[in-house]
Amino acid sequence: MSARTAAAVAFVADPAPAAEAAPLLSVVKGGARVAETRAEVREAVRAARAAGKRIALVPTMGYLHEGHLTLVDRAREVADWVAVSVFVNPLQFGPGEDLARYPRDLPRDVELAFGRGADLVFAPSVEEMYPHGEPRVTVVPEDGMAERLCGASRPGHFRGVLTVVAKLFGTFTPDVAVFGQKDFQQATLIRRMVDDLDLPVAVDVAPTVREADGLALSSRNVYLSADERARALALSRGLRRAAELFAAGETDGGALRAVLRGAMSAPGVEMEYGEVFDARTLAPVARAVPGSVMAVAARVGRTRLIDNAVLA
């Protein structure tokens, strides 16, 4: 651990001394900062912009892994000043979902983010993000995009996602925001929100990072037992087989779906959906074309996993 990250971790573990030394913005050695309030963020962004920097934001729910960190790498390629937000957003969790047990380790996240070159970590409390309780303004498209796929089994999920992302955009006013293709529907809805509302932010989507055996990295993988971890490969296996079939000339949506669903009809895997759809509208396609998207979701034990791939 470098001196810079050690200082950052110490601040998070015990905010009192650092807060006394720097009441507005907690500055850690090397210039990297941890902010807990929107006011601190605005001040840090104002200073970065005054220095002529292009601002990037990487929104996350923390428990960072290599997938998140490649988004930081990408952000550093396209901007000069990079912020990572770490916020487990209660608005996007439904009743009975894993909000309470969602994995959290802020000191580790701060160390990883700064180790990868982030300039600021924003780790607000729920009260800081939602001082007036749950916002009543909603920006979810009304045409069904948010009700398909993950939206079908997680009612209100994307309303929660788009609300927090809109607020983060309002707080950071980033020039660019980087998201992962791992959450394809989320990224598509965010692009749509930005487009519909003319938000002045470029949305950048980076490829999914996987383990060597194909499992997509996810904070939720920590829930998996060794046995479940092996069963979880059904998702990426189905995507790979269907992609191979498409490459061999099969374009029938039903045939490709059957491959995705077949791979997930395995013991210990409870399929939620296996779909082939249009990348822009998210509506199912009868005939797949290059650029169509395949997505899968399943429960392995108590853990809900998702994955997707774009057909080439």
Q: Does 172 bind ligand AMP (CB under 6 A)?
A: no
According to DSSP, the β-strands at 176-180 and 202-206 are parallel
5, 26, 60, 236: which one contacts ligand AMP (CB under 6 A)? 60
Which of the residues 218 through 257 are near ligand AMP (CB under 6 A)?
Answer: 218-219
Minimum CB distance to ligand AMP smaller for 7 or for 184: 184
Positive or negative: CA dihedral 98, 99, 101, 105? positive
In the complex, minimum distance from the CB of residue 184 to ligand AMP, in angstroms, rounded to a whole number: 8
List, in order, residues 6 or more apart from 287 with CB less than 8 Å away.
Answer: 251, 252, 253
Which of these segments, 66-74, 152-160, 227-235, 290-298, binds ligand AMP (CB under 6 A)?
66-74
DSSP result, 10-78: HHHH-HHHHHHH-SS-EE-TTS-EEE-SHHHHHHHHHHHHHTTPPEEEEEE-SS--HHHHHHHHHHHHH
> How many C-beta atoms lie closer than 10 Å to residue 61's C-beta?
19
Strand arrangement, sheet containing 293-300: 269-277, 293-300, 303-310
Minimum CB distance to ligand AMP smaller for 7 or for 56: 56
| Element holding 111 (H helix, E strand) | helix 106-115
Identify the CA nearest to 122 among candidates 158, 167, 155. Answer: 167
Site string for ligand AMP, 206-225 (x = CB under 6 A): x-xx------xxxx------
Report the catalytic residues.
68
114, 158, 172, 179: which one contacts ligand AMP (CB under 6 A)? 179
109, 183, 228, 275: which one contacts ligand AMP (CB under 6 A)? 183
Q: Does 185 bind ligand AMP (CB under 6 A)?
A: no
The CA dihedral of 175, 178, 179, 181, to the nearest 10 degrees, is: 120
Please tell me the distance from the alpha carbon of residue 274 to that of residue 239, in angstroms, as a whole number: 9
Minimum CB distance to ligand AMP smaller for 112 or for 209: 209
User: What amino acid occupies position 308?
Assistant: N
68, 116, 154, 304: which one contacts ligand AMP (CB under 6 A)? 68
Q: Are 118 and 69 in contact (CB under 8 A)?
A: no
67, 124, 160, 274: which one contacts ligand AMP (CB under 6 A)? 67
Minimum CB distance to ligand AMP smaller for 179 or for 223: 179
Output DSSP code: residue 90: G
Number of chain positions touching ligand AMP (CB under 6 A): 17
Q: Does 182 bind ligand AMP (CB under 6 A)?
A: yes
Question: 263: which 2 tokens?
Answer: 């791979």
Site string for ligand AMP, 18-57 (x = CB under 6 A): ----------------------------------------
Minimum CB distance to ligand AMP smaller for 161 or for 285: 161
The residue ranges that bind ligand AMP (CB under 6 A) are 60-61, 67-68, 70-71, 179-180, 182-183, 206, 208-209, 216-219
